[in-house]
Amino acid sequence: MNASQIWTAYYTIVVREVLRFSRIWLQTIIPPVITTALYFVIFGNLIGSQIGNMDGHTYMEFIVPGLIMMSVITNAYANVVSSFYGSKFQGNIAEMLVSPTPNWIILLGYVTGGVARGIAVGAAVTLVSLFFSHLHIEHLWVTGTIIVLTSALFSLAGLINAVYAKSFDDITIVPTFVLTPLTYLGGVFYSISLLPPFWQSASLTNPILYMVNGFRYGILGTADISIWVSYSVIIGFIVLLGGFAMYLLHRGIGIRS
């Protein structure tokens, strides 16, 4: 395939993925916004008023970056895992794999769709947060790159989950039993500096902690973890999962009968 054909293939996949979630925005965009708004009311206003400041910020300001990142992670993951498994179930992926379209274009197209939904939901949640706090972004470049890289990472994870899924029930196992616990224990609602030394060390094994803290640094300018460590962990996981996803597509594991 020449450059024009490759671009057409990539563009087609991305447009399909974006239209897929944007046409049903009442199901894909609004629910996470409402859920996050409830977090702001319950944890920010009701409980946060009793907690006071955390790391030099009001509790509401402290949890805003974490809640935005939590919505980005879950929606980027959900978009790719549901879309890819649906295409696999209908046989579309097998047709794409036997076409001249390079595997990396297929992968990039799905990941871009996941990133688009993650950013769309993140932007909507950010707008809602303005009703509860005076949001001020300290480092715009850091904020933007962290949210894009994190969306890409969990889009890759969603694709890998979809490859191995054998039923629609299988695509809910990882989000329920892995993703949700890691997110809640990833420093969204608290600073790990409040934990005993042992649990601080244990928390460092949670990759989501680095994403939440990287995003919090971008918005508030403070974090429990160095921003460069956050970048290193995120990029390292992207390389690892991206390479594994390419291997799965190349071998047709879970796709070709």
CA 218 vs. chain centroid, Å, equals 16
Per-residue pLDDT tens over the stretch 104-124: 999 999 999 999 999 999 999
- Within 10 A of 10 (CB to CB), how many other CB atoms are there? 18
Per-residue pLDDT tens over the stretch 200-238: 899 999 999 999 999 999 999 988 899 999 999 999 999
Query: For position 49, what pLDDT does the model report?
Result: 66
Whether residue 174 is contained in a domain is answered as yes
Whether residue 139 is contained in a domain is answered as yes
Whether residue 257 is contained in a domain is answered as no
**pTM of the predicted structure, to 2 decimals:** 0.92
Range of the domain at 29: 3-251
* Contact criterion met (CB below 8 Å) for 241 and 160: yes
CA-to-CA separations, 128 to 25, 212, 221, in angstroms, rounded: 16, 19, 21
Task: Quote the strand ranges of the chain, DSSP E.
Answer: 53-54, 57-58
pLDDT tier at 98, thresholds 50, 70, 90: confident
> Whole-number mean pLDDT of the chain?
89
Q: Output b/e per residue, 205-241; b: 16+ Cβ within 10 A.
A: ebbbbbbbbbbbbbbbeebbbebeebbebbeebbeeb
Cα–Cα distance, 205 to 14 (Å, whole number): 33
| Side chain identity at residue 86, one-letter code | G
3-class DSSP state of 107:
helix
Whether residue 28 is contained in a domain is answered as yes
Query: For position 209, what pLDDT does the model report?
Result: 95
The stretch 128-135 carries a mean pLDDT of 85
Q: Write down the residue that tokens 């769309």 correspond to.
A: 120
* Contact criterion met (CB below 8 Å) for 103 and 249: yes
Whether residue 256 is contained in a domain is answered as no
Record the tokens describing residue 213, joined without a space.
């803290």
Query: For position 236, what pLDDT does the model report?
Result: 97
